Structure 1
Amino acid sequence: MSQSQPNTTSTAYFQSIFNCALKAYKQKTKKDLATHPLATQLQSCNSASAILAILQGQVHKFDQSRESDKRWEKWLGPMVNVLYAFSATLGEGVGLAFSPAKVIFAGIGVLLIAAKDVNGSKDALASLFERIEHFFKRLETYTEVPPTSAMTDIIIKIMVEVLDILAIATKEMKEGSAKKYLKKLLEGQISKMR
């Protein structure tokens, strides 16, 4: 008798993948995104603009310079829109009970909080977020077509990878080796996304 393969389109399968990613995030950062106050705030958002407003609040805590809005807006707005569209695609496609995009937004907020008092972190983070945003912009066309099971599987795995990048960056930020790590990350991990 052959063992049946898991149905890769099942909600349980996707929740399992994402739950493993959340567990790995918690191990790396000592933060539970599922219960983090920022995640709770984001879960009640029902539009990309509401999520953007919350993240802009985190940016203002992190970067209070005059150029802050323009500097961070160039990647934050497009990234929120694409991730929110991915989340809608996934939710409609497989009926997920969670919002992977909102968890990623919480991860971005937690990273901004961790970077607040780290010298030289603004440029490194801006570069990291810019590359993630460019990557998601290239995938934006996939939000405009009905999702197939293979496409849904790929989108979930992409979101898991982004969550892993945020976890590692947050951990390194807390340990004070963020600048060196983010440079190495930009050269290595992000190039895998191309």
Structure 2
Amino acid sequence: MSHSHSTPAPSPNFQLIFNSALKEYEKRTKRDLLAHPLVAQLQSCDSSSDILAVIHQQLQGLHQSQRADERLTKWLDPIVNVLFAFSGALGEGVGLVFSPAKVIFAGFGVLLSTARDVRASQDTLIDIFERMENFFQRLEIYTEVSPTPEMIDIIMKIMVEVLSILGIATKEMKQGRTSE
């Protein structure tokens, strides 16, 4: 994001909201996302390309064909780029010891590894990611403007909702109900 002035501070209750979303994720998936090794691996990433490389590692073994590989990976760029830019908009002043976007990326990794472990339907996984890709492509324009306090609040809500979607999808996949 190009900033001509300082980024507005996010709402002080973001930490509470995001922590609540993490607890809900753990309740659904039976996994503490902050303790997942992917979070530590992602925290050392300082560019969207580094993050993409880590997520691509999670995709290994999930697809059997070049076509499936393309369908499973085309969603990555817009989602990672927008969330990474949004994380930058939130700045390090969110009062969290971790980057919310990087925790969300770990959630993507957990979903992908769950899909691999349960041999879930690739078509369902692709459908989830394509819907998210369409949403994030529409948000991409907002990564090019300096955020207002209202935008910061919306960005925080989006991050919480994405984490919630990942928790629900991971839970359903574990239970073999991905067709729903």
TM-score of the superposed pair, with normalisation by structure 1: 0.82
Unaligned runs of 5+ in 2: 1-8
Q: How many percent identity over aligned positions? A: 59
Tell me how far apart the structure 2 counterparts of residues 90 and 21 of structure 1 sit (CA, whole Å): 17
| Counterpart-to-counterpart distance in 2, 1:88 and 1:14 | 15
CA contact (8 A) 1:120 1:179 kept: no
For the pair shown, the structure with the greater C-alpha radius of gyration is 1
Which position in structure 1 is the counterpart of 2:59?
59
Aligned to 1:161: 161
Give aligned pairs, total. 172
Change (3 A) 1:176 1:95: closer
Aligned to 1:15: 15
Alpha carbon RMSD of aligned pairs, Å?
A: 1.9
Amino acid at match of 1:37: P
Distance in 1 between residues matched to 2:167 and 2:20, nearest whole Å: 13
Equivalent runs, 1:115-134 vs 2, <5 Å: 115-134=115-134
**Structure 1 unmatched ranges of 5 or more:** 1-8, 181-194
Higher relative contact order structure (alpha carbons within 8 Å, sequence separation ≥ 6)? 2
Question: Aligned-pair distance for 1:69?
Answer: 3.5
Q: Answer whether contact 1:89 1:147 (CA < 8 A) is retained.
A: yes
Q: Is contact 1:11-1:96 (8 Å) kept?
A: no
Distance 1:23 1:64 in 2: 34
Q: Is 2:54 aligned against 1:38?
A: no
1:43-80: per-residue Cα shift (whole Å, max 9, x none)? 11000000000101111132243334422231112211
Question: Are 1:169 and 1:178, in contact at CA under 8 Å, matched by a contact in 2?
Answer: yes
